[in-house]
Amino acid sequence: AVRSALKAVERLLIEDHANHCMEAAILSGDADEQRSKFREMVALLEKARD
């Protein structure tokens, strides 16, 4: 049950990052910001996979 709850929180964090941070970076047009947020997303996905 605890593991399932942690996975749900991980999914929410990834979804929140995609919906807010990634979207803002894309809309900003700032390539450096976009790369930074993409790297953050990859790191979140890697942590969720472990």
pLDDT in tens, 8-40: 888 888 898 888 999 999 999 999 999 999 999
Identify which has the larger pLDDT, 33 or 44: 33
Count Cβ neighbours within 10 Å for each residue of 30-46 and write b for 16 or more, e otherwise.
eeebbeebeeebeebee
Tokens (6 digits) for 28: 């900003």
Confidence (pLDDT) at 6: 85
> Residue 44's pLDDT is what?
83
What Cα–Cα distance (Å) separates residue 9 from each residue in 12, 16, 23?
Answer: 5, 10, 20
Report the half-sphere exposure of 13 (CA within 13 A, side-chain side). 15
Q: What is the pTM of this model?
A: 0.71
What pLDDT is attached to residue 35? 96
